[in-house]
């Protein structure tokens, strides 16, 4: 499927609700990580409104409960059920417990949670740089742990990446910034490249299970918790210097649209191993300067994807 084959009614301003209009997800089960804020909330709302039973996988279950209560009150009759379960992607035991406790098939997994650009280097309990450890390794462990459930009925895996992947490929020789100076943006970029590479590898490895996997850029969304660690002065300096280019801002409802497209729309049935933005497959870019979209060739490279999968397995034991 190419960009031109995506329905013309979907685009930059499309909302998640518009994507699922007319889509029937009754009998389907979904997990959305990081569903207590930002586009995770809107992703859960849209999937549930179409009839899916949605599990909000969150670190703070009290916050998750509040969101679930609010969402349930506004959903139309016939919507799917909302459940809240604890998941801390930085904690290997939490991830393992979530996967082990899951019973029955899982039809949609939206790996949405993430950490963005903490100013100082932070490490997970296992010693991994936090962005790589949470954004990639946590989701890798979760998804591989749920493989049997995902394979039961041909699931869709959705990996929320970012145009920030243009800041760095995966640097295999120093994943955790043990040798090079820590930089919040190259670290974020590495983790977002890893999100795309994971989708590429899963698409290839699990095709015979009927599983599809795709990655996406949700857009430039101001109203989200993702930026809570960011040094906004540094962001302003980056933009002024031309080091950081941002596409026009989207609402949260618009930001969730591409995730929901890949999770639920018949328009992308069978599509796998691709990177989307603005509800369409992204085109390639050859450099970061001035780019506000597109996908770097290194992020779709099958050799890189296979290597990252093997390294991730080794790191997780």
Question: Which residues are the active-site residues?
Answer: 188
* Run of H or E residues at 160: strand 156-160
Phi-psi region for residue 177, left (φ > 0), alpha (ψ -120 to 50) or beta?
left
Instruction: Identify the CA nearest to 7 among candidates 275, 258, 273, 263.
Output: 258
Contact between 108 and 155 under an 8 Å Cβ cutoff? The reply is yes
Going by C-alpha positions, the residue among 35, 216, 224 that lies closest to residue 116 is 224
Query: Residue 286 and residue 177: Cα distance in Å, rounded?
Result: 25
For residue 62, the surrounding DSSP H or E stretch is: helix 61-74
Q: Compute the CA torsion angle 22, 81, 135, 239 (nearest 10 deg).
A: 50
Q: Can you read off the two tokens belonging to residue 136?
A: 């990639």
Other residues' Cβ atoms within 10 Å of the Cβ of residue 100: 10
Give the position of tokens 């990655």: 215
Euclidean distance between CA atoms 216 and 223, whole angstroms? 18
Q: Is 228 exposed, middle or buried (0-12, 13-18, 19+ CB in 10 A)?
A: exposed
């Amino acid at each position: 499927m190419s960009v031109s084959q995506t329905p013309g009614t979907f685009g930059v301003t499309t909302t998640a609700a518009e994507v699922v209009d007319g889509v029937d997800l009754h009998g389907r089960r979904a997990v959305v990580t990081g569903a207590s804020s930002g586009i995770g909330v809107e992703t859960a709302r849209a999937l549930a409104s179409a009839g899916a039973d949605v599990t909000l996988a969150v670190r703070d279950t009290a916050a998750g409960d509040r969101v679930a209560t609010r969402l349930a009150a506004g959903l139309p009759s016939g919507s799917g059920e909302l459940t809240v379960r604890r998941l801390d992607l930085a904690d290997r035991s939490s991830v393992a417990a979530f996967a082990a406790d899951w019973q029955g098939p899982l039809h949609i997994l939206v790996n949405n949670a993430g950490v963005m650009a903490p100013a100082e280097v932070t490490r997970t309990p296992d010693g991994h740089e936090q962005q790589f450890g949470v954004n990639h390794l946590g989701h890798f462990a979760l998804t591989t742990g749920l493989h049997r459930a995902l394979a039961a009925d041909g699931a869709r895996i959705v990996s929320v990446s970012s145009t920030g992947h243009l800041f760095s490929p995966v640097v295999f020789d120093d994943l955790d910034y043990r040798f090079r100076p820590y930089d919040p943006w190259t670290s974020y970029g590495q983790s977002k490249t890893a999100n795309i590479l994971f989708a590429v590898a899963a698409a290839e490895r699990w095709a015979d299970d009927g599983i599809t996997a795709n990655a996406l850029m949700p857009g430039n969304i101001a109203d989200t918790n993702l930026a809570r660690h960011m040094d906004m002065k540094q962001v302003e300096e980056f933009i002024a210097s031309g080091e950081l280019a941002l596409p026009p801002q989207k609402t949260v409802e618009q930001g969730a649209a591409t995730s929901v497209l890949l999770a639920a729309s018949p328009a992308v049935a069978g599509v796998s191993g691709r990177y989307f933005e603005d509800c369409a497959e992204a085109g390639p870019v050859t450099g970061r300067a001035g780019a506000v979209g597109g996908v770097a060739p290194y992020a779709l490279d099958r050799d890189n994807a296979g290597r990252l999968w093997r390294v991730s397995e080794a790191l997780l034991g």
